[in-house]
Every structure is written in structure tokens, then in C-alpha cells.
Amino acid sequence: MKNLFLFAIMILFFTTLGNAQIPDKFENLQVLPKEISKRELMGNMKSFALGLGVRCQFCHVGEEGQPLSEFDFVSDEKETKKKARVMIQMRDAINNQHLTQLGEENALQVNCVTCHHGQEEPKTIELVMNETIEKGGIESATQKYRELREKHYGGFTYNFQARPLERVSQSLAGSGKVDEAIALLKLNLEFHPESFMSHYSLGEALAMKGDKEAAVKSLEKAYEIMPNPRIKKKIEEISKK
Ligand code: HEC
Ligand code: HEC
């Protein structure tokens, strides 16, 4: 009980310390209510920073390590601040005009984190992979995946389960980019050796390349994990060719 009290005092102390460097009057509020309290304004700002995984200087003029009292919060120099205004309006419209129409008593509220999941731009891992393949080819994409996984695994920003890379690979194979699909499926199997779907898709892709032996091996592995008659049939089909 006593510890809890001390903890509360500490939290209060540090929040006040941080906020003490922030002016009490605001001069350039265009979308937030002009009469907003400092506490509420800072609540907004912290949820922006957390939602996008950034610090104050992402939107405001100031440097890492500089005291907040020296930041120019009034300035509209940064594009990101102007974009954030549009986002605040969007958030409020979703919450106040749209979600209210559902007639739920305690309607959930959308906030920056709902879409952004700790990223500057809200992108799924599928989108990041497709973009990176387009720009830099499959090698830079596999490199990118490893880096993102290293940095974000266990966090809430990207889905590192087996499914996303399987979906990207399947669509690559479908558009004739079989080598790329094979590379991604092999990457996926490093992290998800028990995904029958990755083994199965790899088998299909290898068959498309005409590598019958390797294809059958992959499909047999898929069948071992998931003894489904359709996989069996596929194996027979390819073996006969
Ligand atoms: C994603 C962008 C973004 C981030 C990150 C952000 N802000 Fe802001 N901030 C804004 C926007 C947009 C406004 C103006 C809102 C408006 O026009 O109503 C603003 C306004 C302010 C103001 C009021 C300035 C004035 O006098 O008009 C202060 C103070 C402020 N922010 C502090 C902070 C602090 C401290 C942080 C870091 C904890 C922070 N902000 C992080 C976007 C951001
Ligand atoms: C409904 C989903 C959604 C919500 C909620 C949302 N955003 Fe966004 N935001 C997006 C999308 C999508 C983009 C990318 C638009 C583009 O550039 O194509 C984006 C882009 C941005 C950008 C520009 C990033 C850049 O690097 O150019 C900023 C800044 C931003 N959002 C801030 C916020 C803030 C602050 C909030 C909360 C007040 C918020 N967003 C809430 C979907 C959302």
C-alpha cells in the first residue's frame, strides 16, 4: 500500500517535471480545442508519439537531447505536424460521427495506435515486402524481413506469423515470379519449420520450376505435418509427370 503511494507520487513528480517545460498557454491550436488543458494536450501528444513510435521532434522543431523548453512547438515548419492535424480531424470524425452511429453504449474509440501500431506510416508486413521487392529485388526484401524481425519481434507492429509471407509468396508465384516466391518460402520455413502451408507452397513453386524431386520432398514434408488427401494427390500428380 505504502509502495503504491510512493509509486503514484513518483509518477506524478516525473510527469510534472516533463510538463513543467511545456508552456501553459498554446498559441497555434487549429484542430484541438483552444481551451484544452495542458494535461489533456500532453495526453494527446504522448498518444501521438506512442502510436507512431516517434518522439516530439518528429512533428516539432527541436533536437534529440535538447530540453523541451527550447523546442518551438508553435511552429508549423514540419510537414508531419500538418499531416497530423488532418489525422486528428480524422480520428475525431471516426469517433464522434461514425462510431456513435453503432449505438453501442460504451463504443470503443479509435486512436493513432489503432492504425499506426507504432509506425510512422501504417504498413503491414505484406505491404513492406511487396514494396521492397519492387524497389530492390528479393535479396533486399529478405534482408529487410530479417532486420524488421530482429527489431520488432514480440512487439505489436508487424505480424511475424507464417501467414503473411505465405500470402506474398503465393501471389508472387501466381504472377510468374517463382524464384522470388521460393526465396520467401525458404525464409519463412527458417522461422516456421512446422508450417505445412509453407512446405506445400514451396513444393508447388518448385514443381513450377520443373524441379520434380525437390517439389515432391517439400510436399511430403507438408503431408507429414498435415496428412490431407489433397496433398497426397498432388504428390502423385507431380510424381507421374
Ligand atoms: C505526430 C505529430 C506530433 C507529435 C509526435 C507530437 N506533436 Fe505536439 N502537436 C502536434 C500538432 C498537430 C499540434 C497542433 C494541434 C492543433 O493545431 O490543434 C501540436 C501542438 C503541440 C503543442 C501546442 C503548441 C502551441 O502553442 O500551439 C505543444 C506544447 C506540443 N504539441 C507538445 C508536444 C510534445 C511535448 C510532444 C512529445 C511528447 C509532441 N507535441 C509530440 C503534433 C505532434
Ligand atoms: C484509420 C487509420 C488511421 C488513424 C486512426 C490514424 N492514422 Fe495517421 N495515417 C494513416 C495512413 C493510412 C497514413 C498514410 C497515408 C499515406 O501517406 O499514404 C497515415 C499517415 C500519417 C502521417 C504521415 C506520416 C509520414 O511519414 O508522412 C502522420 C504524421 C500521421 N498519420 C499521424 C497520425 C496521428 C497523430 C494520428 C492520431 C491522431 C493518426 N495518424 C491516426 C492512417 C491512420
The answer on 143 and 235 residing in a single domain is yes
Helix (H, G, I), strand (E, B) or coil at 166: helix
Helix (H, G, I), strand (E, B) or coil at 61: strand
d(CA 7, CA 15): 12
Alpha carbon 213 to its chain centroid, in Å, reads: 38
Domain end residue (candidates: 55, 89, 116): 116
- How many domains does one find in the chain? 2
The answer on 176 and 72 residing in a single domain is no
Q: Domain range for residue 19?
A: 2-116
With contact defined as beta carbons under 8 Å apart, do 67 and 18 qualify? Answer: no
The answer on 150 and 84 residing in a single domain is no
Say yes or no: CB of residue 60 within 6 Å of ligand 2.
no
The answer on 31 and 112 residing in a single domain is yes
Domain end residue (candidates: 85, 116, 147): 116
pLDDT one-digit tens code per residue, 97-146: 999 999 998 889 999 999 999 999 999 999 999 999 999 999 999 999 99
Which-ligand-closest: CA of 45?
Answer: 1
The answer on 73 and 153 residing in a single domain is no
Q: Residue 2 has what pLDDT?
A: 61
The answer on 150 and 97 residing in a single domain is no
How many A from CA of 59 to the centre of ligand 1?
A: 7
Say yes or no: CB of residue 53 within 6 Å of ligand 2.
no
What average pLDDT score do residues 190-214 get? 97
What average pLDDT score do residues 20-34 get? 93
Helix (H, G, I), strand (E, B) or coil at 124: coil
How many A from CA of 29 to the centre of ligand 2?
A: 19
The answer on 189 and 98 residing in a single domain is no
How many A from CA of 45 to the centre of ligand 1?
A: 6
Say yes or no: CB of residue 113 within 6 Å of ligand 2.
no
pTM of the model: 0.88
Domain end residue (candidates: 82, 116, 150): 116
Mean residue pLDDT across the chain: 93
Say yes or no: CB of residue 42 within 6 Å of ligand 2.
no
Q: Which ligand 2 atom sits nearest the alpha carbon of residue 58?
A: 29
What average pLDDT score do residues 218-227 get? 97
Q: Which residue puts its alpha carbon closest to atom 28 of ligand 2? A: 84
Say yes or no: CB of residue 122 within 6 Å of ligand 2.
yes
Q: Residue 14 has what pLDDT?
A: 57
Residues forming a β-bridge with 72: 61
pLDDT one-digit tens code per residue, 149-193: 999 999 999 999 999 999 999 999 999 999 999 999 999 999 999
The answer on 226 and 161 residing in a single domain is yes
pLDDT one-digit tens code per residue, 68-106: 999 999 999 999 999 999 999 999 999 999 999 999 988
The answer on 130 and 71 residing in a single domain is no
d(CA 154, CA 156): 7
The answer on 172 and 97 residing in a single domain is no
With contact defined as beta carbons under 8 Å apart, do 158 and 125 qualify? Answer: yes
**Residue 12 — φ and ψ, nearest 5°?**
-60, -45
